[in-house]
Structure 1
Amino acid sequence: MNSTEAILKERIKELTCLHEVTSIIVNSDYDQLHISLEAIAYCLKKAWQFDKDAEVEIKSGIYRVKTKGFSPLMATIKSEIKVFNKVDGHILVGYPEYKYSKSDFLEEEEVLLDNISLAVSNLLERKQIKDSEEKVKRQMERTDRLHILGEITAGIAHELNTPLANILGFTELLKERISDKEASRDLQKIVDNTIFSREIVKKLMFFACEMPQEMDVIQLNPIIDNVLQLLRPSLKAKKIQLVKSLDTADIQLRADTVQLTQVLFNLIMNAVYYSPEGGKITVEVEGNTKNNKIHIKDEGPGIDPGIGDKIFEPFFTTKPIGDGSGLGLSVVHGIISSHKGSITHRQNQPKGTIFTVNFPKL
């Protein structure tokens, strides 16, 4: 074989590699990109002059794939993977160091490697764009769902208020007219259950942002201290270590004191409920130029990703029957929304949940 034939053979291998890589990228499943990257790695291996000795590693973000014989102790050439103009990884092609050196790589192979890196970069950028679009779509769907639930809930709450008030009023009148002790006890049960039902309606109205608010400029840190003081017996009962990190700045909010207290009480009480005995709860306040953030971290079992979008819906709960009505977080969400804030959750490391409440600056 003369040199012209050898050069032609190498160009055919390179063009074949580019065609195969393009085909792999076009047919990639964004949810299983590691499979596509692995296929690209083996395509690259076949494109090199000494293909039987060539090995490939592709590394970017959470992805790392390599051909079977790849080792860090190799003579390699490298091309960076850039995602949105930021270096996010690399592709390495190598030969065994005892047998080859960098001079054994062809200039055309370096050009090929750069072209493949560019194609992989474009693939990863499209993956990020798709993930971002899906995240925005889920957030919009969740917001719409909660808005509809809020309207339905507000209507139900208003409809229930009048009959509950009538039941309570007429029962109290009957109690005054009946001297039979057993009958009086039964009427008191009606009163107690009506009051309990009225409290549920009140919580529904909190979720629907229908409760009147007394907005004022308030200090955040003293309210947190007061809530923690109220919860001290619960923390002590489970031997929970409390870590408090309040920003030293004079953080002020425009908020309803009672409702803000309810938000903090519910979130920290939830953290206590799900924390193991002897666990740790962290309450952090972070103030910056745009927002005031409250982070509440626990070391409980965490929130299953499958129910992450449901936890703020009314009557949804993971607690056993009798331990919760499923209204706590929905009320929290309603109050925070009415304060033009937001609430999110994410996994704590190594275990547990972090709730973040975000309030706008004054």
Structure 2
Amino acid sequence: MSPLVTIENKLKERIKELSCLYSVTSIIMNCNYDKIEDCIEKIAYSLKDAFQYSEDTCITIKTDEYTISTLEYPKKMPTIQSQINVFNTKIGELTAGYNNNKLTENSFLYEEKQLLEKVSIEIGNLLERKKIQENEVLLKRKVERADRISILGEITAGIAHELNTPLANILGFAELLKTNFIEDKQTTKDLDKIINSAIFSREVVKKLMYFACEIPQQITVVNMNNTITEAINLLEPSFKKKNIKYVLKFQKPTIQLNVDSIQLIQVIFNMVLNAIYFSPENGEIQIETLDNKNNVILNISDQGPGIKHAIADKIFNPFFTTKPVGDGVGLGLSVVHGIIKSHKGTITHLPNSPKGTIFSIKFPKI
């Protein structure tokens, strides 16, 4: 082969490589992140065409989420490989291989290895941008939800304060009337219904005030493990009623926390009773405490139906419930959210495996 032909072939290969890089850049620039797998597939075929022996070349792009290959090939074959990184962390590989026994690793050009490196960097950049976009959407949702809950808290606090006075009047005058009708049993029964309804309404108002963080706190140092154990012992009949087991997992024998002990018990009661309600018979509920440098963490896991994505943003709103009418007014989780917020903590939920929900509550060490 003459030097002229060799130079000509090299020029052709360089043109193919430059065309490939231009094509990859165009694909990435016009990429729809909702159909990113299609973009990665286009990149794979564009890269395949840039190789010297393109007909015998197979390109495979494998990441944590995607596996795309231009053709099937034997497991034992000459390959070159480049690592795909997202935020400086390896998440996959870009591989080029020959589906031809006559070709070896030496058949790959040095420039082809460089091209593989450049394309793997571009794929990594593409996946980074997708992650950034997803995080921006998630952050926007969190901000919107925080705004909604903040506004809801202000409205709720106002409603609670407005209701307190008329409820106190109803209760007071009903008690007063009762003393005047001691001998009239029917009237006394009717007044008892009014009094009980007023007391029930006052408890609802109190829960609304918990949600709005309007209840003054008595902060003391408590051993969280002891508080949980005492609360679970009181709930023993509820566990037995549905034949549900519970498991207590304490990272340390003593985990101290600055908290309003009564409100902490209310959080535990609400969360565990909720888990019992949604758990199937013979299910298991796990209550776990963890202690790290900055937070004390309480995890409550059940094996219920889980939380559907469509309602995930609503479960902490007052009066929102998935329970049938009569089984709950939808204040349990909103009260829990209010108490945790007043302690500068957070509550999140994620799917349990294979089914159910894990609620994770973090209390900061103040």
TM-score, normalization by structure 2: 0.95
1:146 counterpart = 2:149? yes
Supply the AA of the counterpart residue of 2:152.
Answer: L
Q: Give the CA deviation at 1:200.
A: 0.6
State the partner residue of 1:216. Answer: 220
State the partner residue of 2:294. Answer: 290
Residue by residue over 1:39-60, the C-alpha shift from the partner in whole angstroms, topping out at 9 and shown as x without a partner, is: 1111111111121121111112
Q: 1:315–1:325: 8 Å Cα contact kept in structure 2?
A: yes
Count of residue correspondences:
362
Instruction: State the distance in 1 between where 2:186 and 2:16 align.
Output: 95
Q: What do you get for the CA RMSD once the two structures are aligned? A: 1.6
Instruction: State the distance in 1 between where 2:328 and 2:101 align.
Output: 68
State the partner residue of 1:272. Answer: 276
Moved more, 128-137 or 288-297: 128-137
State the partner residue of 1:48. Answer: 51
Q: 2:252–2:290: 8 Å Cα contact kept in structure 1?
A: no
State the partner residue of 1:31. Answer: 34
Q: 2:56–2:100: 8 Å Cα contact kept in structure 1?
A: no
Moved more, 299-308 or 90-99: 90-99
Give the counterpart of 1:76 among 79, 95, 104: 79
Moved more, 130-139 or 279-288: 130-139
Matching of residues 247-266 of structure 1 within 5 Å: 247-266=251-270
Moved more, 160-169 or 130-139: 130-139
CA, structure 1 residues 297+170, in 2 after alignment: closer, same or farther (shift >3 Å)? Answer: same
Instruction: State the distance in 2 between where 1:335 and 1:350 align.
Output: 30
Instruction: State the distance in 1 between where 2:354 and 2:42 align.
Output: 33
SS at match of 1:74: coil
Give the counterpart of 2:91 among 88, 92, 109: 88
Matching of residues 186-201 of structure 1 within 5 Å: 186-201=190-205
1:104 counterpart = 2:117? no
Identical counterparts, % of pairs? 54
Matching of residues 167-182 of structure 1 within 5 Å: 167-178=170-181, 179-182=183-186
SS at match of 2:186: helix
CA, structure 1 residues 98+238, in 2 after alignment: closer, same or farther (shift >3 Å)? Answer: farther
Give the counterpart of 1:241 among 245, 249, 252: 245
1:130 counterpart = 2:133? yes
Instruction: State the distance in 2 between where 1:36 and 1:22 align.
Output: 11
Instruction: State the distance in 1 between where 2:45 and 2:283 align.
Output: 48
Give the counterpart of 1:9 among 12, 34, 38: 12
Instruction: State the distance in 2 between where 1:3 and 1:70 align.
Output: 30
Give the counterpart of 1:345 among 349, 352, 360: 349
State the partner residue of 1:309. Answer: 313
Gaps of 5+ in 2: none
Moved more, 279-288 or 54-63: 54-63
Moved more, 26-35 or 342-351: 26-35
Q: Give the CA deviation at 1:176.
A: 2.3
Instruction: State the distance in 2 between where 1:293 and 1:71 align.
Output: 50
Moved more, 23-32 or 331-340: 23-32
